[in-house]
A and B are shown apart, each in its own frame.
Chain A
Amino acid sequence: MFDLNIEGAELFALPFGDIVPYFSVYSATLAAFVLIFILIAAFDRPERQLNIIFGGDAFYEKEIKEGDTRFSRFMAIACGFATLGAVLTGDIFNFTLFAVLVGITNIAIVASAGNHHVLNAAFQYGIVAMIATVPLFGAAAIILATTGTLSIWTLAGMGAVPLLAKAMLILGVMGEGIAPLYIGKAEIIRAQGAPFVLMIHFSSLLLFLRVTEIVLVI
């Protein structure tokens, strides 16, 4: 596997049953970024919002208590660890599971927002994430049925995976990673718990980078 261009040299592999997580230069770089962002989510302070009243000098500051963001913070850290799992795992089915875990923690990060608009966007994203499980797990099932294995190590460079499975894998990750689009549209960036919304963008970006690697390798 490590003679392929995208991976780079092998740094470390953990023999854990049939699931062998590994660090190549590529995935180790991704993992380092994930760890940095987990730390940011863990120690960041919630952003304060200022509402400016137009036509006057007045403004008022929204009070955000630590307790309000506790759940978002926890879920942002959980999302970070799910991303870490997706980046490191050496198994297709495990990757799809971690992608789904990223999707549901993405919803959880914005779930505590009280804004109707935000919750509506989260609901719409939830529908897409739910549909996305079909192509995602369908891809894993097709790969297992047509090649008899799910291990990226074994599949690497074989070219045995059908195009359909690759397309469905990408489509599934697209569905789970579509959250930033909703965030942009619903302006969740400015909603309560803003620093933790960063993790949604980040996990989505890393899922795409990782699925690109997987599709190029298998």
Chain B
Amino acid sequence: MIIRKLSGILSNFTNLSRVYAVMVIIVVIAGIASIPSLDYQGDRLYPKTIDRDSPLDPYDRGGIPFESTVVLAEYPENSPYLGYITAYLTPLSLALAAATPHMGTTIVAHPGGIIDEILYATRGLDTVVETTILFVGFAVAAHLFRRREDE
């Protein structure tokens, strides 16, 4: 009886998103209940300090261009030039950083100014996949738009 009822609900695919949402809600509520039992290990990897007085404010990771800075990595032996990319600034942004205190809020701030992870250089593939997801979304939208045009 119950199985018949359940399969009746599942047979209509507009209900599937509701069923899924209910499952998410159940797990999230159980998760909120279990939060006190989780312990936070904030000191291990990818530390982030924010220096409000720096001209590169939210993106300042220390170091001077063409020198290295301290970056933690899971496998430092895989990234021999760790810290150089993080410290690098283009000549233009270096000049801007010297001229204005709000360099960090502009889009030219850093080689990876708008994408935070590339500053760590060790997680570069994340950035690539993220932008790929974005571009696939654009490709679908462009395809649908141009298909309307053909008809």
Contact = CB atoms under 8 A, between A and B. Distances in A.
A173 interface: no
Interface in B95-137: 121-126, 129-130, 132-133, 136-137
Contact of B16 (A97, A124, A134): A124
B8 to A, nearest CB: 13
Contact of A94 (B30, B31, B42, B129): B129
Contacts of B48: none
A145 B42 contact: yes
Which one of B13, B75, B137 has the highest number of Cβ atoms from chain A below 10 Å of its Cβ?
B13
A150 B44 CA distance: 11
Contacts, number: 140
A20 B34 contact: no
A171 B24 contact: yes
Label chain B's interface by main secondary structure.
helix
A18 B121 CA distance: 9
A149 interface: yes
Interface of B: 11, 13-14, 16-17, 20-21, 23-24, 27-28, 30-31, 34, 37-46, 73-75, 77-79, 121-126, 129-130, 132-133, 136-137, 139-140, 143-144, 147
What 8 pairs between A and B have smallest CB-CB spacing?
A148-B44, A148-B41, A17-B122, A18-B122, A15-B78, A185-B13, A97-B129, A18-B74
14 contacts: A15-B75, A16-B125, A17-B121, A17-B123, A20-B75, A93-B123, A94-B125, A98-B129, A108-B143, A127-B17, A131-B20, A145-B40, A149-B74, A182-B16
